[in-house]
Amino acid sequence: MAVPFLCPKPLRPGDAIAVVAPSGVVEPAHFEAGMRFLQRRYVVRWTHGLLSQTGYLAGSDERRLKELQNAIDSDDIKAIFAVRGGYGAMRLLSKLQLQGRKPKWLVGFSDVTALHALWQCMGWQSLHGPVVTQMGILHPEDLQTMLDALEKNTGNHCLLGTRCLVPGTASGPLLGGNLSVFSRLIGTPYMPDTRGAILLLEDNGEAPYRIDRMWTHLRLAGTLEKLAGIVLGEFFQHDRKNADQDCLAVLDSLASETGIPCVSGFSIGHGARNIAVRLGSQARLSAGSLRLTCLNGETE
């Protein structure tokens, strides 16, 4: 953790970007709306193969791997945007080749957490932010925050949570992402070193007992022991009445038990708002004031 994460070069309007589908099946209507937003600013490259379907995946592993690896290898592609989450990115981790490549922006969340973790293992920053299928319906302020995070390397980015679960202050690189995906990386070569980090977690559609089980897995594996702080984004569970409140109560209890500075209620993840944050950036958490400040890093 002593070595800063490398920050990809800032994007510029007119740069070439790649849109890829490393995970679940793509919904054409939402995809088209998001593409229109991106095409107004960048040169967008994609293949019709990303609209493929193999069961619950956007085509075969071979198709999705080739699409993503080509985007990583192409020197003129300055950023890689994921179309959506779902499931499937983890299946590609062992075959992706990043050694010897220069860092470039990876943008997405949810199942894209598996790829963010790979970037973090490489010591690269990435952007936890909207997927393409969100971009046609997302709040304009959140879209602008995403663009600013990708195109500017000056100033700080401040976010406010809603509840302090454990008071205190912390500083360190911001890591993590989706709780379900991140916890599945325990014991693999793709779990980043979380010592001294501020851990961001969010999730959607998980029952309270499953949240407890995944959190407890992180604790038993020692992942939580040497954290500097914890930041909780959106957590939703929709299959039973008042389940959201149950999830929040479970999270309150689990986070309080750690004794690590923790704030919940950040508009990050699967909610109506999805504020982009740079994973790997240096961050400061002031739990008492509900404030997370991400420091924009230097370019690679």
Q: Which residue spans within the chain are E strands per DSSP? A: 16-20, 43-45, 77-82, 105-108, 126-128, 156-160, 163-166, 169-178, 198-204, 229-236, 262-264, 277-279, 282-286, 291-295
Q: How far, in Å, CA of 298 to CA of 9, rounded?
A: 9
- Which of the residues 30, 128, 270, 286 is marked catalytic? 270
Q: Give the chain's end-to-end CA distance (angstroms, integer).
A: 17
Q: Is the dihedral of CA 127, 211, 205, 236 positive or negative?
A: negative
Overall size of the chain counted in residues: 300
**Residues 107-131, buried b or exposed e (16+ Cβ, 10 A)?**
bbbbbbbbbbbbbbbbbbbbbbbbb
Q: How far, in Å, CA of 209 to CA of 20, rounded?
A: 33
- The pair of three-digit structure tokens given for residue 227, joined into one six-digit string: 């954290």
- Which of the residues 30, 126, 202, 281 is marked catalytic? 202
Maximum distance among all alpha carbons in the chain? 50
Q: Clarify whether 110 is annotated catalytic.
A: yes
- The pair of three-digit structure tokens given for residue 115, joined into one six-digit string: 């790829």
- In the three-class reduction of DSSP (H, G, I as helix; E, B as strand; rest coil), residue 100 is classed as coil
- Which of the residues 23, 30, 67, 110 is marked catalytic? 110
Q: Clarify whether 32 is annotated catalytic.
A: no
Q: Clarify whether 30 is annotated catalytic.
A: no
Pick the closest to residue 50 from 74, 81, 90, 75 (CA basis).
81
Contact present, 126 and 99 (Cβ < 8 Å): no
Q: Which residues are catalytic?
A: 110, 202, 270
